[in-house]
Structure 1
Amino acid sequence: MQSSLPLNALRVFLVACRHRSFTAAAQELSVTHGAVSRQMKLLEDRLGQVLFEKEGLRMAPTPHALAFAEEIGHAFSRIHEASLHYGRGLTTRLLRVHAPATFAMKWLIPRLPDFNKRYPDARIQVQTATTQQLRLEGAFDLAIRRGKPIQSNFSGIALFEERHSLIASPELLQQIPLKRLEDIHHHVWISSDTRPRHWDEWLTSAGMNNKPWRSLRFDHFYVSYSAIQDGLGIGIGPIPTLNKDIEKGRIVTPFPDLLTSAQQYWAITQNSTQKTLLHKQFEDWLQEQVID
């Protein structure tokens, strides 16, 4: 197989896989059925692998072809995003923001409609990562991080301090009230693998060293948080990250004054990145949201 693959054939291949039909692909691309067939034959010869097989009256992608299409589809998306970001004109109003999953889902995304209203020509692409994926790698313009000092090749602006509090669904507390600290033992304690020490930190702040009588554990906090909202038990959650849900009554904080020690959130940018106007507008907007 040659080291490079024909880009046009790959483009036709993706369309044919999406439609699962040479005929439909030819119609979308405004070419003949034979032209699609020739491009697929060229690609198969280069790969040394059959990509389409006869299925009734049409040529359908093999499982191998669909897996290959998913892989290269990501690559084509990255090329498209790069062309938007580094090209000229209004399409350059693109900012790629990399953030922890819970922060993105519970703090950033609920506030983004306000930014979109102010700057309707801007496009904010939010990329999320779990706790294990928070290395400062990949294609992004601005990253949100918590706690750890900023690396030497990055600069940042402080956003807010996050603390953790006991949280529960209001429906659960109607059934099993939490009036005193000791009442937590009437509940199932929910925790997550990615935040294993948060219960211990909160118990320390409450002057307790008890262990749960009943517990549930999930892999990621956003899964644990879903279980808490559904009333499966009580847990420890970040404040003010969850403030929108608290304001809407989705969860409550039975002991709001009992909080863990603070960790700082930062909006950080690599020093080699030349900030665009949109980048600066987004940083200013983030700081406004913190004040509000």
Structure 2
Amino acid sequence: MRPRRFLPSMKLLLAFDAVMRHGSITRAAQELDLTQSAVSRLILSLEKQLGKDLFQRTGRKLVPNTIAHRYQNDVARALDIVQRSSMGVVANPDGGTLSLAVLPTFASRWLGPRLAEFLKTRPGIAVNLSTRLQKFDFADEAFDAAILFGPSDWDEVHAVKLFDEKLTACAAPDYLRQFAVRGVQDLANHSLLHLESRPTAWRDWMGAQGDVDVDHQGMIVDQFSMMIQAAISGLGIALLPDYLAQIEISEGRLAPVLRQAVPVSGAYWLIWPEGRVQDQALAAFRDWICGQGGG
């Protein structure tokens, strides 16, 4: 038996979640298609059921206290789990569902073109994708697994390496015809495009080219897709994972600079929490993606 006091109704939790997300009763009421007074009553009912105040009342405003912020972390995650599970029942009632967090450009340029093969061989499994750029705690996110980039320092999760990182510098063909690059030292005269999450990438690449580090200032972006577009537009030289660079090179949008596919530190990993070890959908996906080879 689950004590009723500690299982607020979905209506109460949705009202609480909306108020916390919007910071406004008015906007929460608009989202829930309720009146402001109805939302206020739902919040009062939740506080009464829990026996704890969640907000301070200042006029018509509700100001969340420390308890509310802590409670919201768990409530939001629980609602995400219920939503994802319900979507899986509707979209794929006969098979398993895998909720996967992925790097955005990796998802669109590497995983996406290959995923149809997996879904064809395992028609009973549905894969839901959401993008994440950085590490996160599975306790705070409703994901079954994630594909992320980094060193081999994943804590309290299971991890399998997919492939090591290899980087290729690229620029628009017209850019290179105008500004030739014959050696690493020439890069000091160019704008180098940087990825926000990989601040040492150019330094590592230059070292692997067998030359000393040179001044490498330039534009900073937060996704490889933006870096690719900036390079195509002639804004500088991009440093791309080789699996991305080869797509752009083969289609003539970019051309390589100096030695290609230079090994550097870091790798792509499939990671999953302890509680998902026996998940059949995850096991099937893990076996398939590990068989895809390197980038």
TM-score w.r.t. the length of structure 1 is 0.66
Q: Which letter maps to 1:42?
A: R
* Distance (Å, rounded) in 2 between the aligned partners of 1:4 and 1:277: 30
* Distance (Å, rounded) in 2 between the aligned partners of 1:84 and 1:97: 14
Q: CA deviation at 1:233?
A: 0.2
SS at match of 1:255: strand
Structure 1: tracts of 5 or more residues without a match: 27-35, 54-61, 65-70
* Distance (Å, rounded) in 1 between the aligned partners of 2:36 and 2:185: 71
Q: CA deviation at 1:86?
A: 9.3
What are the within-5 Å matches in structure 2 for residues 55-94 of structure 1? 76-83=79-86, 90=93, 93-94=96-97
Q: Which letter maps to 1:187?
A: H
SS at match of 2:193: strand
Q: CA deviation at 1:190?
A: 1.8
Q: CA deviation at 1:101?
A: 4.0
1:197 aligns with 2:200: yes
Equivalent of 1:161, from 159, 164, 170? Answer: 164
Structure 2: tracts of 5 or more residues without a match: 19-25, 48-53, 64-72
SS at match of 1:290: coil
Q: Which moves more between the two structures, 232-241 or 170-179?
A: 170-179
Q: How many residues align?
A: 265
What are the within-5 Å matches in structure 2 for residues 20-99 of structure 1? 20=30, 39-40=38-39, 42-43=41-42, 76-83=79-86, 90=93, 93-99=96-102
Q: 1:220 to 1:40 in 2, by over 3 A?
A: closer
1:269 aligns with 2:268: no
CA deviations over 1:221-249 (Å, ceiling 9, x no partner): 43444422332100322223544444433
1:251 aligns with 2:250: no
CA deviations over 1:142-161 (Å, ceiling 9, x no partner): 22244433657433333212
Q: 1:163 to 1:136 in 2, by over 3 A?
A: farther
Q: 1:120 to 1:261 in 2, by over 3 A?
A: same
Equivalent of 2:240, from 237, 241, 250? Answer: 237
Q: CA deviation at 1:206?
A: 2.3
* Distance (Å, rounded) in 2 between the aligned partners of 1:19 and 1:104: 35
* Distance (Å, rounded) in 2 between the aligned partners of 1:136 and 1:203: 35
State the partner residue of 1:8: 11
CA deviations over 1:39-79 (Å, ceiling 9, x no partner): 546336578899xx9xxxxxxxx9x9xxxxxx988864432
What are the within-5 Å matches in structure 2 for residues 86-235 of structure 1? 90=93, 93-131=96-134, 133-134=135-136, 137-138=139-140, 139-149=142-152, 151=154, 153-209=156-212, 211-212=214-215, 215-218=217-220, 220-222=222-224, 223-235=226-238
- Percent of paired sites with the same residue: 22
